[in-house]
Structure 1
Amino acid sequence: MTSKHKQIEDFDPNGVSCHDGIFGLPYDENTAELIIIPVPWEVTVSYSHGTAQGPEAVLNASFQVDFYQDDIHDAWKLGIHMLPISEQLYNKSNSYRILAGNYISWLESGAPKDSSERFAAVPDVINKACSIMNDWVYEQVKEFRAKGKMVALLGGDHSTPLGMIKALSEEFESFGILQIDAHADLRKAYENFEYSHASISYNALKFPQVSKLVQVGIRDYCQAEAVLAKENNRIQTFYDKDIKKELFEGKAWKVICDDIVEQLPEDIYITIDIDGFDPKLCPHTGTPVAGGFEMEQILYLMKQVVKSGKRIIGFDLVEIAPGPDGDEWDGNVGARILYRMANLYAASQGKLNLK
């Protein structure tokens, strides 16, 4: 077994890497301090598909990411390793996605009664399949947290982090969730799917350990979600239109970030749906929405979170989808967000020094 010291000694961060690990880094699950769990799953997506291929798209693009961070010395020495992408999970996602897609089409056609018997059992079948996926994620997170590893998740659609949130809720008595997203994801069993990608925030709030949900960039939501966000004192939503209004009227982005950070408790889980960004950065995501943020705006916010002394206890990056004909743009952007978030996560844990 090669030691981490030897891996660092033999690696040239300025050269061409011959390693096939994420970002071309030389680490394995024993020597890496951060384990990335890829979850190629998109069973309940309700618009465009492709996010199950997100982990592979990010992995393929990651080899073009340079390691240097001018505010984090030798960030690459942390040790990042992504587990193998589960072909079994990917194949199950594709299979159940067909079933769910046919059911969604039936709903969208008015749920004709002459087909009701055919589709009656579909929600239970899909809910069971998604529950099994959640349990798989939960077990993966528990295993590596027990080994003292930091853990991040790479989706897949936005339903995939629920098992991770469950695992962290058993480890931490109280923590907040910072959600970057175009959508509120507060729908209850959307399209009769309990574990829908549109229900992740609703489901996360079922854990009493989640003391606060701070949503940033929300711009596409239904009335029921707006009412829930207003009436639930655990939810603080920074709507995209309100943020833009403040920016247009001269409020500095730093001040807005300070307002967001102030709402967060000391321990934070961060969930980043790529559609929270401007669609030019993620044109092939499942449900793109006009508006959103530049990449550096969100990464600046994340740096302010760390500089405030808050502690990141985990994060996910979801809803990345490759474009047609091998277009790597979405994966390229996703890989850069993933690398920076990995380093900021480590900095908040005291494992890297942030200037």
Structure 2
Amino acid sequence: MEMIIDPNGKASANSGVYGLPYNEENSKVVYIPVPWDVTTSYIAGTHQGPEAIFNASEQIDFFDLEYKDAYKQGLFMQKEKSWIKTLNKKMRTQAQKIIDANEEVEGNKTLEAALKKVNDASKKVNDFVEAECDRLLAEGKIPVVVGGDHSTPYGAIKSYAKKYKKDFGVLHFDAHSDTRIAYMGFEHSHASIMYNASKDIPSIKKFVQVGIRDFCEQEYEYTKKSKKFDVYFDLDLQKRKLKGEKFEKIAKEIVSKLPKNIYISFDIDGLDPRFCPHTGTPVPGGLDYNEVVFILNTVVQSGRKIVGFDLVEVCPSGDESDEWDANVGMRLLYKMTSACMASQKIIKKN
């Protein structure tokens, strides 16, 4: 029996994500909140992202000029796992010892012990995310990680790569390359996820990175030498636009590099910081919100399939009256949800 939802009315704050009345069983899309930002090396707080997105989501308007009624398919956000929140707080203290250290970890027993604890805890969280995504995919649902820092979707990418073994790639929106090798010794640093995925998940055919504008020389050389990476640096994108090149042409070129089955990993700092001023590592430049929407639509129009996605690094302001970051995040999350289902022919385009 289809639930009766008034899309023109005010969402209920007492209901689930986006004010919807669904539960996990009757939802096509299940958002997995992962309140984890242990290895964040600049501004902490992204562990509060999932809760902030949930709280802001009741402000959504479901009518969309591009996609038809994604909300009718059932959208549900799980409750945050208390053990992850507790472990995050505990391990953040351990990680801070290393972040603040003025000496090498190797040879310092205190720092070595702290690093091992953090790496073991990160693996525990990754294993949980992977197992949860495995379970939901087996049930025919679309699991979506909502971070947390950018280390959190690693298990999800592994899970999707197992299901879509052939012709599978990652579309990565970010200010950062995230191809550092165990940054600061953290094996699953937020700055290392794409390096880890490229090294540990051989079935990923292609990584297409968009908006990259903050990276080290090692990362630049790594992605340049790897045939798996196509990088659209923000500097190059801006030059092309400033010289008068149509963004439609740029978007089609980006999408042409992607295989048939696509997982989107979206770090909110891929956007211009005016859309996410409190994110953990903001960088000048970046994509406009509508440019991202245009690329998503271009993916759908191309006939490619968005099999899954994540949204990470949304960090709320310390001011409770300022929901801007979460507001942008929840709208982007809904837009990606719609594009994902449209690409899978679950819903129609308007």
TM-score normalised according to structure 1 size = 0.95
Q: Is the 8 A contact 1:270 1:315 kept in 2?
A: yes
- 1:46 corresponds to which letter in structure 2? S
- 1:15 corresponds to which letter in structure 2? G
- The number of residue pairs the alignment matches comes to 346
Out of 222, 238, 245, the residue aligned to residue 244 of structure 1 is 238
Aligned to 1:203: 196
Aligned to 1:180: 173
Aligned to 1:22: 17
Alpha-carbon shift at residue 71 of structure 1 (Å): 2.3
Question: SS in structure 2 opposite 1:330?
Answer: helix
2-side partners of 1:124 and 1:192: how far apart?
Answer: 9
2-side partners of 1:76 and 1:269: how far apart?
Answer: 21
- What value does the CA root-mean-square deviation take over the aligned residues? 1.3
2-side partners of 1:82 and 1:213: how far apart?
Answer: 28
Q: Deviations over 1:261-280 (max 9, x none)?
A: 01000000000000000111
Q: Is the 8 A contact 1:218 1:237 kept in 2?
A: yes
Indicate how the Cα distance of structure 1 residues 316 and 112 shifts in structure 2: closer, same or farther if over 3 A, else same.
Answer: closer
1-side partners of 2:339 and 2:259: how far apart?
Answer: 17
Alpha-carbon shift at residue 73 of structure 1 (Å): 2.5
- 1:225 corresponds to which letter in structure 2? E
1-side partners of 2:139 and 2:27: how far apart?
Answer: 11
- 1:189 corresponds to which letter in structure 2? A
1-side partners of 2:156 and 2:295: how far apart?
Answer: 23
Out of 340, 343, 346, the residue aligned to residue 338 of structure 2 is 343
The question of 1:156 aligning with 2:148 is answered: yes
Alpha-carbon shift at residue 152 of structure 1 (Å): 1.1
2-side partners of 1:117 and 1:311: how far apart?
Answer: 48
The question of 1:13 aligning with 2:14 is answered: no
1-side partners of 2:239 and 2:276: how far apart?
Answer: 23
Q: Is the 8 A contact 2:169 2:262 kept in 1?
A: yes
Alignment of 1:1-355 (within 5 A): 3=1, 5=2, 7=3, 9=4, 11-18=5-12, 19-106=14-101, 109-111=102-104, 116-174=108-166, 175-205=168-198, 206-326=200-320, 327-355=322-350
Alpha-carbon shift at residue 254 of structure 1 (Å): 0.7
- 1:216 corresponds to which letter in structure 2? V
Alpha-carbon shift at residue 244 of structure 1 (Å): 0.3
Question: SS in structure 1 opposite 2:108?
Answer: helix
Alpha-carbon shift at residue 30 of structure 1 (Å): 1.1
What percentage of aligned pairs have identical amino acids? 42
1-side partners of 2:271 and 2:256: how far apart?
Answer: 22
- 2:114 corresponds to which letter in structure 1? V
Alpha-carbon shift at residue 112 of structure 1 (Å): 8.9
Unaligned stretches of 5+ in structure 1? Answer: none
Alpha-carbon shift at residue 193 of structure 1 (Å): 0.6
Question: SS in structure 1 opposite 2:281?
Answer: coil
Q: Is the 8 A contact 1:55 1:154 kept in 2?
A: yes
Question: SS in structure 2 opposite 1:121?
Answer: helix
Question: SS in structure 2 opposite 1:324?
Answer: coil
Q: Deviations over 1:47-94 (max 9, x none)?
A: 000000000010011011111012223332121111111222112111
Alpha-carbon shift at residue 16 of structure 1 (Å): 2.1
2-side partners of 1:193 and 1:328: how far apart?
Answer: 31
Indicate how the Cα distance of structure 1 residues 122 and 294 shifts in structure 2: closer, same or farther if over 3 A, else same.
Answer: same
2-side partners of 1:164 and 1:145: how far apart?
Answer: 10
Runs of 4+ with >6 A deviation: none
- 1:53 corresponds to which letter in structure 2? Q
Unaligned stretches of 5+ in structure 2? Answer: none
1-side partners of 2:100 and 2:75: how far apart?
Answer: 41
